[in-house]
Structure 1
Amino acid sequence: MQKVKFIYNPLAGDHLIMDKLDQVVDLHQKNGYLLVPARLGPEMDMRRALEDAKEGYHHILIAGGDGSVDLLINEMKRRDLDLPIGILPMGTANDYARFLGIPKDIELALTRMFRHAPRKMDIGMINEKYFLNVASTGLFTDVSQKTQDELKNSIGKLAYYIKGIEQIPTFRKIPVKVTSQHGSFEGDMYALLVFNGRTAGNLDLAYKSKADDGLLDVILIKAANFKEIVPLLAKMLRGDHLEDPVGLLYFQTDEITIDTTDPLIVSDIDGERGPDFPLNIRCIPQGITVLGADEDVTP
């Protein structure tokens, strides 16, 4: 049997993986794979989980949310480890797995991994950290970090809507300078999102994004009066296409720099605190190998 490193986060999402462990093991054994598990927790961080990862593993299977997958990618890059990755989406939003068309049903997800060839996918890099889905700052950063896990687990996407509405009275203008070869901006904004994936909190925003096009999708919400910003936010929450709406800038680029003079503003990577400003964000073409991605993810 070929060995598979299985890393799982028991606290991800609604803890569903804890009831599915036997199914995961059974399906692998039936397909000729021997799982070697590592349970993430205080005694087992991602570094320890990957200590033996160069000892003949066929691929790595990660069960968790976007944050867990980001931790895995960063540790693999630190170790110069190039193995295919299978993702079991067990988090709250699972934005990156959703982007790749990986189903939440474990049997369906694993069946695809066993039957489909590995595929090269882009990843993002923000300063010295890698990310898979989105780096952001401003309004949506606050929404992601302030939405309680219990609320997200119980009502899903609606939790982000509720928290976003709560944040409207606290909107403040953020001075920012954005520079790239394909689009630039200097002035006040409310929010900025840089996508390698497509969705944020299951909100379908970067609808032009492709998994292996070598480009990042940049969405910037300019500071405006509420008569302009409320209809724009409504369009974003509905998942409407954002073709040249008032108050929004949307473009694609392979690299972008972002800076601000506001000392209170922080960055976010897939729901977790990101690095300090200034930010340099770039696309790493074909930076990872993924198992089980939907064949329609790329043109």
Structure 2
Amino acid sequence: MVNARARTGAKAYVRAVENLRSLGMPLHSTFPLHDPARLPETVNSAVDAGHDLIILGGGDGSVSSVVDVLAHRGVPLGLLPLGTANDFARTLHIPTDLDHACRTIAHGKVVDIDLGLCGNNYYVNRASVGLGAGVAEAMSPTLKRWTGVLAYPVATVKALLRHRPFSAHLTFPDGDHEPQEHHGLLQLSIANGRYFGGGQLAAHDAGIDDATLDISVMRHGSLHDLIVAARDLKRGALDSEHVRHFRTKRVDVSTGPDLPINVDGELVDSTPQRFSVARNALHVVVPRTWKDASNPDF
């Protein structure tokens, strides 16, 4: 299934089908979908029909739209990264080159990875409050199509101009941290994957199969402060003057005022909300060289 409205989807569809068949993949059905809203129902129908592998061509938004359908269903996902950021593919070392991605599906291995939960909504990369939600509001399909990888910086500038600092209260149901109160915030992120936002690191040792969430709290500040904080996030240098980091399995978040939550690029909920880990919830095809944190020798 290829999201034909993904940045390179329409051109990639025919080539992907030809490549996969030439690699010996017995494709039962192929779908060039021009309406991304049909992806979840199409994937659900394929799973119900008994197919043993779902191959999805699209970006992070396409992946996130189908994980609610695939979570705990036992059917592996093969990914052809065709989006703008492709952070999920970057986390799993899946090549963005179409030919190499096809070879990964044909010759790779299946591993179990975690999903994040925002209430009852699954996500693969990150949920965020504050600037991240503002970026999601500013990130239109037209902007992504015309600016490509520059869409994130452009949308971020737009979001910064509109942003108002907020407060957040964090409590940890498992008692692994004391309650946290933070004021004057730019952003609060709860990451499941290693990368988000076009290559930012959740933490230098973050993993998508480590049974934990990486939380980063970023204070609002001057333009210089924001540039320094963005540099710190890009290289995973957390617990700096501008960014605080916590690692946990569950966290309850409330904000003042209540704010929308960006879940993998879509505004799907609002605070207050609980975030948690769904352990080994998704099967996915990765390169054979990818190291499984729960079984590093596999």
Query: What TM-score results when the alignment is normalised by the length of structure 1?
Result: 0.85
The 3 A distance-change label for structure 1 pair 130 and 228 is same
Hey, what's the Cα distance between the residues in 2 that align with 1:162 and 1:71? 24
Structure 2: which 5+ residue stretches go unaligned? 294-298
Contact 1:218–1:252 (CA<8 Å) still a contact in 2? Answer: yes
The 3 A distance-change label for structure 1 pair 211 and 267 is same
- Choose from 201, 225, 231 the match for 1:229: 225
SS in 2 for 1:268: strand
Hey, what's the Cα distance between the residues in 2 that align with 1:257 and 1:297? 31
Could you tell me which amino acid in structure 1 is paired with residue 237 of structure 2?
L
Match of 1:187 in 2: 182
The 3 A distance-change label for structure 1 pair 195 and 48 is same
SS in 2 for 1:12: coil
- Choose from 246, 270, 274 the match for 2:268: 274
Hey, what's the Cα distance between the residues in 2 that align with 1:294 and 1:210? 17
- Choose from 95, 100, 106 the match for 1:108: 100
Hey, what's the Cα distance between the residues in 1 that align with 2:270 and 2:163? 21
Query: What TM-score results when the alignment is normalised by the length of structure 2?
Result: 0.86
Aligned residues: 286
Hey, what's the Cα distance between the residues in 2 that align with 1:185 and 1:137? 16
Percent identity between matched residues is: 24
Hey, what's the Cα distance between the residues in 2 that align with 1:187 and 1:21? 46
Hey, what's the Cα distance between the residues in 1 that align with 2:191 and 2:26? 34
Hey, what's the Cα distance between the residues in 2 that align with 1:291 and 1:165? 35
- Choose from 8, 16, 19 the match for 1:24: 16
Contact 1:144–1:201 (CA<8 Å) still a contact in 2? Answer: no
The 3 A distance-change label for structure 1 pair 230 and 294 is farther
Match of 2:201 in 1: 205
Match of 2:241 in 1: 246
| TM-fit CA distance, 1:294 | 6.1
| TM-fit CA distance, 1:298 | 4.2
The 3 A distance-change label for structure 1 pair 230 and 18 is closer
Hey, what's the Cα distance between the residues in 2 that align with 1:248 and 1:58? 43
Hey, what's the Cα distance between the residues in 2 that align with 1:233 and 1:93? 20
The 3 A distance-change label for structure 1 pair 227 and 84 is closer
| TM-fit CA distance, 1:291 | 0.5
| TM-fit CA distance, 1:105 | 1.5
Contact 1:157–1:203 (CA<8 Å) still a contact in 2? Answer: no
Could you tell me which amino acid in structure 2 is paired with residue 195 of structure 1?
A
Hey, what's the Cα distance between the residues in 2 that align with 1:197 and 1:35? 31
Could you tell me which amino acid in structure 2 is paired with residue 235 of structure 1?
R
Contact 2:56–2:77 (CA<8 Å) still a contact in 1? Answer: yes
| TM-fit CA distance, 1:211 | 2.1
The 3 A distance-change label for structure 1 pair 72 and 293 is farther
Match of 1:38 in 2: 31
Cα RMSD over matched residues? 2.4
Could you tell me which amino acid in structure 2 is paired with residue 217 of structure 1?
D
| TM-fit CA distance, 1:195 | 0.8
Of the structure 1 ranges 204-213 and 26-35, higher mean CA displacement relative to structure 2 is found in 26-35
Contact 1:119–1:291 (CA<8 Å) still a contact in 2? Answer: yes
| TM-fit CA distance, 1:179 | 1.6
Hey, what's the Cα distance between the residues in 2 that align with 1:277 and 1:218? 16
| TM-fit CA distance, 1:103 | 1.1
